[in-house]
Structure 1
Amino acid sequence: MGGSSFKWVRPEVYPLFGALGAAVGICAMQLVRNAWTNPEVRLTKANRTAGVLENFDEGYRYKENALRRFVRDKPPQIMPSVNEFFSRDN
């Protein structure tokens, strides 16, 4: 019975495993981010009894995360150099 335990898995499905793993990782990251940093989510009983808070600073910090600040001044294109090349008038 030697050999690999993944004998039934073909090499063609490895990219699918990678894509699904990345998707599950992104979902888990978003779940953790919302559970710990979202100002509207309160996990402890003491925080839930506070009711509606007027904490605009915490909400602004949650909305303006690091990724949003990074892409703010970038052009909204995936490959700007390729777009410029094909949009030139010749």
Structure 2
Amino acid sequence: MDATFRKRWLKPEVYPLGVFVIGAVGLAAYLSARKLITDPEVRVNKDDRKHGRLDNHSEGEVYHNHPLRRFLRDKKTQIMPGLNEYFSKPLNPSK
């Protein structure tokens, strides 16, 4: 069984697939843990759940404006801004 697994999956051609699968699982685990631990709408223990709906707008703002969002707030939303600016310039008409 072990030799068959090595022959089939531990090839250099499979490494990129493994990297993407591990990355996706890691990202999903991070986002799930963040939602479970820091989201003000998620209440895990019984004492917090019995209060029902809370008006905790300040906690919601802190959760919504996380450090990555604050970092990207003033950045351009383009993937290649230099290339987009180059191709969006009007051509000089020759008269």
Please confirm whether the aligned pair reaches a TM-score higher than 0.5, indicating the same fold: yes
Q: CA deviation at 1:13?
A: 1.2
Tell me the TM-score normalised to structure 1 length: 0.85
User: Which structure 1 residue ranges, 5 or more long, are not aligned?
Assistant: none
**Other-structure match for 2:66:** 65
Distance 2:63 2:22 in 1: 26
Q: CA deviation at 1:7?
A: 3.4
Alpha-carbon RMSD? 1.7
**Other-structure match for 1:15:** 16
Tell me the TM-score normalised to structure 2 length: 0.81
Instruction: Quote the sequence identity (%).
Output: 46
Larger of the two Rg values belongs to structure = 2
User: Which structure 2 residue ranges, 5 or more long, are not aligned?
Assistant: none
- The DSSP-based 3-state class of the residue aligned with 2:8 is coil
**1:51-90 map, 5 Å:** 51-90=52-91
Q: CA deviation at 1:84?
A: 2.4
